[in-house]
Amino acid sequence: MYFDLAKELNTQQCTAAATLHGPLLVIAGAGSGKTRMLTYRIANMLQNGIAEESILALTFTNKAAKEMGERIRSLTNLPLKKLTTTTFHSFGMGVLKQYIQHLGFKNNFTIYDTNDRMALIKEVIQNLDYVVETFDLYELSTLFSDIKTKRKVFGANASDKIRNLYIEYEKHLKAYNAVDFDDLIMKPLDLFEKKPEVLQALRKRYTHILVDEFQDTSLSQYRMVELLAQESRNLCVVGDDDQSIYSWRGANYENLVMFERDFPERLEVKLERNYRSTGTILEAANSLIVNNQMRKEKKLWTDSGKGSSIRLIHPANDDDEASVIADEILMIHKKEDRPFSDFGVLVRTNSLIDTLETKFTERGIPTQVTGGQSFFDRKEIRDIISYLKVIANQDDDINLLRVINTPRRGIGRTTLEKMRKVADEHKCSLFSALTLMSVATDGQVKEGMQKTLKRFADMIENYHHQLFETRTQRNMVLRTLIGEIGYKAYLEAEHPDNENVVAFKMKGISMLCDMLGRWERNPENSKASIFDYLNRISLAGKENADEENAGKIALMTIHASKGLEFDTVYLAGVEDQYIPHARAIEDNPANIDEERRLFYVAITRARRSLIISSCEKRRRGHDEVASLPSRFLEEIPKALFDEEDPAKQLSSEQVVDKLRLLRERLAARNNV
């Protein structure tokens, strides 16, 4: 393994990659090659004798972590089995897997996703004899997350009901030996405080820490890495405050300021050379973002040429907008023989996606919509995963309640109420209560129901034995389970007149089994348990399962486009009330700044061509209302735009008149 950094990287990248020790802050603009820099930095660390097991590289998606690891292995030609490139939550899960017993949990804990959390909140409401319908479960879930992560605190006027709900929610999690997504960060922090020896052990192991997309870290995530690096001081953070767009999920771009405070001896490097976009696109982005005051000064540049102008189109309405975009993409695809994957169509909100998707479908254009239902959120997939969770962790009441009568076994509400009563009396899980009831001789449960309960309990115990105590392939065990419970027959009964629905759902279940098979055949998972697989699924987020996206147009929100790039980008719905969003306009200037950063991210997804669309009118409900172009367009030099209306063939005089009217309208709005 040998490479010359000076030949592989530009001057600024080389400076960052060659700095092996001490705190390092890298301000990396969009398309500036930060991943390449990080890859070479880690490879350089290894080349200079830093042990692979002492390196911890943290990012935000499994995909990014996997790609980073693969690049480093390719560059070094080393297996690097002890190198840790992972996400924050996966790292936290690993810490808990090793040490959670210090917090009173068992090591076989279950991770509750958003759906599990909502189900648990609903159960807690019912247990406290509150009326479920009087609460917004989503709002409660968000509030509990904010309280747990210390983004909010209960004020003096906080409702006693809400306080009680939160306390009981936490008690139930522990009773079910479960943690939620936030716990994967917060409980390691609890461990660091309550068991300093755990923190010290991790400090001893991870002496060199790197964080990608640092602007997306929350306060608690920053606290985690700051604590880990407090003694070694070897913390490298790479980010761009101009691309901080996730405040709504706890990201805090001010962590850059905190890093500067906590590590005053840091070296700071700026990556401003852009390898992605044309000069015109970068000039537009620079002119826009400079209007934000609280930011690190930087200016992206490229030596790849000016490129074509940014096209600004003004369709009559959203139907015309979708038709124009679809027709143009189809024409370019055929005329220039360009794959559909060259195109990205971005919008501010999900509400703008449907019309675009419909027009693409009508024209036979293959489309990948990001932001739809996750594979792992489909009911049939959740049913089977819930079975696995109960088999693995019999204390998991939430998932037991999901599967105990799916498919139907005749276990009715009365029996479930008796189970709950027995569980309360014996202070045990529902599964333990069920087992007790299946052998009880007190006559409270009829003989037929006892047999039903025993069959269910025996089945769960049998599959637990197969999954944990035999060498049978786990994907085959899962297929056997699906057959034994009669899930296909259950689907056929649910959809008696629609064979296609049944076939679709069973195909998804087969995919789940295949995924488990591929996972367990991976040599890296040879010593892993079914818990590891279930936790992997819980951390999968919105990633679709093995769906082939190649050759499809990407249709997504701007938030979902972060980290992606396309030869040609269409930005639809670039109007006030959408970007900036109406909520931001009504609130404070800080929100407008984040909306501007969001538009900046959208612009910088484009490599060669950028087309911006703002409609004259847009449908809202049953009405068409007049729209105004986004105020952000006025912050971009007009010389960069090629303004047109593709829906009409206009004479040059008509074009001049149309542009004049548009300018007058914009001026009138500014004088309001």
Question: What are the Cα distances from residue 157, in Å, to 128, 134, 163, 401, 585?
Answer: 21, 19, 11, 35, 29
342 in catalytic set? no
298, 592, 658, 322: CA torsion to nearest 10: 100
Question: Which residues are CB-neighbours of 351 under 8 A, at least 6 positions away?
Answer: none
Count other C-beta atoms under 10 Å from residue 520's C-beta. 16
Residue 557: enclosing H or E segment and its boundaries?
strand 553-557
DSSP state at residue 552 = S
Question: Which residues are CB-neighbours of 19 under 8 A, at least 6 positions away?
Answer: 41, 236, 267, 269
Residue 38: enclosing H or E segment and its boundaries?
helix 34-47
Of the CA atoms within 13 Å of residue 173, those in its CB half-sphere come to 24
Instruction: Give the residue among 594, 557, 635 at the shortest CA–CA distance from 241.
Output: 594
**Marked catalytic residue, from 35, 61, 98, 370:** 35
213 in catalytic set? yes
363 in catalytic set? no
212 in catalytic set? yes
Of the CA atoms within 13 Å of residue 154, those in its CB half-sphere come to 13
654 in catalytic set? no
**Residue 614's Cα: distance from chain center in Å?**
28
DSSP state at residue 236 = E
Count other C-beta atoms under 10 Å from residue 219's C-beta. 16
**Marked catalytic residue, from 34, 270, 382, 389:** 34
**Marked catalytic residue, from 113, 180, 182, 212:** 212
In whole angstroms, give the CA distance from residue 540 to residue 515.
Answer: 13
Instruction: Give the residue among 405, 49, 28, 32 at the shortest CA–CA distance from 236.
Output: 28
**Marked catalytic residue, from 116, 182, 213, 645:** 213
In whole angstroms, give the CA distance from residue 312 to residue 315.
Answer: 10
Task: Answer for the pair 639, 280: CB distance below 8 angstroms, yes or no.
Answer: no
In whole angstroms, give the CA distance from residue 366 to residue 469.
Answer: 46
DSSP state at residue 497 = T
Helices 487-494 and 474-484, axial angle in degrees (round to 10): 50
**Marked catalytic residue, from 605, 607, 618, 631:** 605
Pairing between β-strand 617-620 and β-strand 566-571 as defined by DSSP bridges: unpaired
Backbone angles phi, psi at 166, to 5 degrees: -65, -45
Backbone angles phi, psi at 449, to 5 degrees: -70, -35
**Marked catalytic residue, from 207, 221, 243, 557:** 243
9-35 burial code (b ≥16 CB/10 A, e <16): bbebbbbbbebbeebbbbbbbbbbbbb
473 in catalytic set? no
In whole angstroms, give the CA distance from residue 437 to residue 452.
Answer: 11
In whole angstroms, give the CA distance from residue 64 to residue 199.
Answer: 26
In whole angstroms, give the CA distance from residue 539 to residue 87.
Answer: 9
- What is the per-residue DSSP string for 577-638? BBTTBHHHHHS-HHHHHHHHHHHHHHHTTEEEEEEEE--SEEEETTEEEE--B-GGGGGS-G
Is the four-CA dihedral 454, 455, 460, 463 of positive or negative sign? positive
Q: Which residues participate in catalysis according to the annotation?
A: 34-35, 212-213, 243, 605
